Structure 1
Amino acid sequence: MSDFETITVPAHLSGYPGVAFGGYVAGVLAARSAAKTVRVDFRRPVPTQAPVRLDPTAEGGARLVDGELLLAAASPAEPAAQAPEPPSWELATAAADAYRAAPPDGMVDCFGCGLHRTPGTGLRLHCGRVPGGALVAAAWTPGPALGDADGLLPPELVWGALDCPGNAAGRLLDGRRAGAVTAALTARLLRPVPVGAGLVSYAWLLGSEGRKYRVGTALATADGDLCAVGEALWVEPRTQS
């Protein structure tokens, strides 16, 4: 009996075209770890619609491989960044509306932040800058189609809610270009997240150097109760020569 399993990420769960949505992949790997806080490092793009192997590791984590190529690995980690107070539902709604009114260039049909996704086909994390503070945020409500049999957002989609806000923080708070990718995502889930209820995803900068920048991200209820908190390393694409 083998210790590995094979998974195939469906086409609609994409970040960039043909590439699996990083937050979802991180959540799938994290679910195989017994640790409360998990770090997922991305080594190569994970394809959609292609079987890849998920192996347990001796350290109590998991890794995703394609043949001999390591795609991503999860390992127990220290607690993620401490989150500031979430913006109000009203401020997060206004920030998302402003983002949709004037989105940055280079947008793609991402499951997490694609502008053409509906509440049943994506997370709609349209994070705009929150006036008067160093945060980006989006108010959003996951549709019932995204829920599990208990009416909860699956853990891998809670992880997903911590991914795209980091891109928005880089674009809007640090002047980053389109095309950045998640190199690592660390997260801790704090409580179950029901679908059909208002949520606020938000992010803030932790550091910036060269092509890399670090962000904190968090997910809260409309009333301000934290559901999950994370920290991510993003890498900007190399300048074309």
Structure 2
Amino acid sequence: MTDFETITVPARLSGYPGVAFGGYVAGVLAVRAAAKTVRVDFRRPVPTDAPVRLAPTADGGAQLMDGELLLAAASPAEPAVEAPEPPSWAQASAAAEAYRAAPPDGMVDCFGCGPHRTPDTGLRLHCGRVSGGPLVAAAWTPGPALGGADGLLPPELVWGALDCPGNAAGRLLDDRRAGAVTAALTARLLRPVPVGAGLVSYAWMLGSEGRKYRVGTALATAEGDLCAIGEALWVEPRPRPTP
């Protein structure tokens, strides 16, 4: 009897080309962890369209392996940070429209924030800066194709909604360059999230040092009810050497 399962992340769930969307990977691991709050640490990129091994760990977590290489690991954690009051639907809509009017350089076809995704093929987390406050936000509505048979957004995609806003916070609130990656994501899911209903994803800065920065992220309903909260560590790519 084996104590692991083999999974394959399809190419449509990519973040960067050929690399599985980090928020989704974190969610896959988190739903198999025996804790309400889970921290996922990313060690190496998880490939798409390639089988990898998912196994439980002794501490009640889970890990993703490619042969003998550790790709990511989930473990029980302390509750994530407290979230500030979410921006209104109107504020988040205006921020998303500002993003779409002038998308940043270096954007890719990311499942979470790709500008060419539809409500049925991506999360469309088009986070722009919220006017009058230290937040980035996106108003979005998941399409029916993203939901399960129960009409709810799967937990893996709720985790996904806490990922890309952190990248936007770094770029728009801390002048970070494109290409940063999620090094760790800690989250707690608070309530079921229906598809076809308006949602607001938002993020704020927690700290910044060298190439690393920390952000808080949250997901709320259009009416302001909190659905999930997270904290993430992001790492900016090393500067390219000057020719």
TM score, norm. by length of structure 2: 0.99
**What is the aligned partner in structure 2 of residue 203 from structure 1?**
203
**What is the aligned partner in structure 2 of residue 85 from structure 1?**
85
Task: State yes or no: 1:215 paired with 2:229.
Answer: no
Q: How many residues get paired? A: 241
- State the shift of 1:103 in Å: 1.1
1:159-194 superposed Cα distances (whole Å, 9 cap, x missing partner):
000000000000000000010000000000000000
Separation in 2, partners of 1:214, 1:111 = 22
* Aligned residue identity for 2:235: V
TM score, norm. by length of structure 1: 1.00
* Aligned residue identity for 1:52: V
Separation in 2, partners of 1:66, 1:16 = 18
Match of 1:228, SS state, is: strand
Separation in 1, partners of 2:106, 2:81 = 28
Match of 1:233, SS state, is: strand
Separation in 1, partners of 2:134, 2:151 = 33
* Aligned residue identity for 2:48: T
- State the shift of 1:48 in Å: 0.2
Deviating 4+ runs (over 6 angstroms): none
**Percentage of matched positions with identical amino acids:** 89
**What is the aligned partner in structure 2 of residue 143 from structure 1?**
143
Separation in 1, partners of 2:111, 2:16 = 9
Match of 2:137, SS state, is: strand
Q: Which runs of 5+ in 2 are unaligned?
A: none
**What is the aligned partner in structure 1 of residue 51 from structure 2?**
51
**What is the aligned partner in structure 2 of residue 9 from structure 1?**
9
1:139-163 superposed Cα distances (whole Å, 9 cap, x missing partner):
0000000000000000000000000
Separation in 2, partners of 1:147, 1:95 = 25
* Aligned residue identity for 2:128: G
Q: How does 1:1-241 map to 2 (within 5 A)?
A: 1-241=1-241
- State the shift of 1:36 in Å: 0.2
CA RMSD, 1 decimal: 0.3
- State the shift of 1:104 in Å: 1.0
* Aligned residue identity for 2:120: G
Q: Which runs of 5+ in 1 are unaligned?
A: none
- State the shift of 1:200 in Å: 0.1
